[in-house]
Amino acid sequence: MEPRNQTSVSEFLLLGFSQDSEHQPILFGLFLSMYLVTVLGNLLIILAVSSDSYLHTPMYFFLSNLSFADICFTSTTVPKMLVNIQTQSKSITYAGCIAQMYFFMVFGGMDTFLLTVMAYDRFVAICHPLHYTVIMNLWLCGLLVLVSWFISLSYSLIQSLLMLRLSFCTNWVIPHFYCELAQALMLACSDTLVNHILQYMVTGLLGIVPFSGILFSYSRIASSILRIPSANGKYKTFSTCASHLSVVSLFYGTGLGVYLSSDASSWRGMIASLMYTVVTPMLNPFIYSLRNRDIKRALQKVLRITLCVQ
């Protein structure tokens, strides 16, 4: 069978979660609710941080960037999935598929880097409290975020450009609810060696290196907490990083579930991907707001202002 050139590819088909039309209204309502909660929750975090001068600190600066990245991360997959469910269509254009891959990698990478930067922030705050304001100055915070954006945008662009050079056979069916890179590579008829090498390198860049940095930061944090003599002091110190530790555990736990799935296109693999791409960004605002008095107070202030305006 002669492979078709990529210029002849007009669309891919996303099989999604269910082929049964009876399940579509339930899936549409479920995913729409989750998406709205994700967007609203993360927007409230951004508004709370930006409107309260008390929260204009490095930790909350990174948190607001994480909330923005989470909104964009979820928005790369869920809206298209909702449109396909509503229109009972499973198609996505070739350009739309490449764009979805690109933005998925960009914002997924940003989540990873921001969580690592936030771990470093907590390390400096707990292990070097007297030098915290000097080390975590405005210039360094901005630089860390800009470098994170640069790396994420760069490797995502390279991976997307490498996808454009591939030829695809007549089978354009992706057994997933979004254009997953590994699934798309399996459909290619041309040589994908370079793509796979880059994919493994990116997995190391976004997985092993940031996670090692987080582990190092928290090992030093744990060592510092254990040296505190009083139990109350240990509890107060640990509470300053408990929310971030919960988010890291959720993010890497679900991400690990995706990569350990024997078949990403199986029901178990898609559930793991759903937890990673939708559920985790939805839960992050709740984790930070429920465990953080400052965020609670700022959110109450935002809600009061909103009610007064109405």
Supply the CATH number for residue 78's domain: 1.20.1070.10
pLDDT at 198: 85
Sequence-distant (6+) residues with CB within 8 A of 3 are 167, 168, 169, 189, 190
Q: Is residue 203 part of a domain?
A: yes
How many degrees, rounded to 5, is the angle at CA 293 between CA 54 and CA 73?
Answer: 80
Residue 5 lies in a domain: no
Q: Which residues span the domain enclosing 151?
A: 12-308
- Residue 23 domain-assigned (yes or no): yes
Q: Is residue 6 part of a domain?
A: no
pLDDT of residue 181: 85
Q: What is the pLDDT of residue 217?
A: 93
Spell 33-42 as b/e; 16+ CB within 10 A means b.
Answer: ebbebbbebb
- 2 falls within a domain: no
- Weakly modelled stretches of the chain, pLDDT under 50: 1-7
Q: What is the pLDDT of residue 157?
A: 93
Residue 100 lies in a domain: yes
Q: pTM score, two decimals?
A: 0.89
**What is residue 7's predicted lDDT score, i.e. its pLDDT?**
44
- Please check whether residue 7 lies inside any domain of the structure: no
Domain count for the chain, please give it: 1
Residue 130 lies in a domain: yes
Nearest to 290 by CA among 227, 246, 235: 246
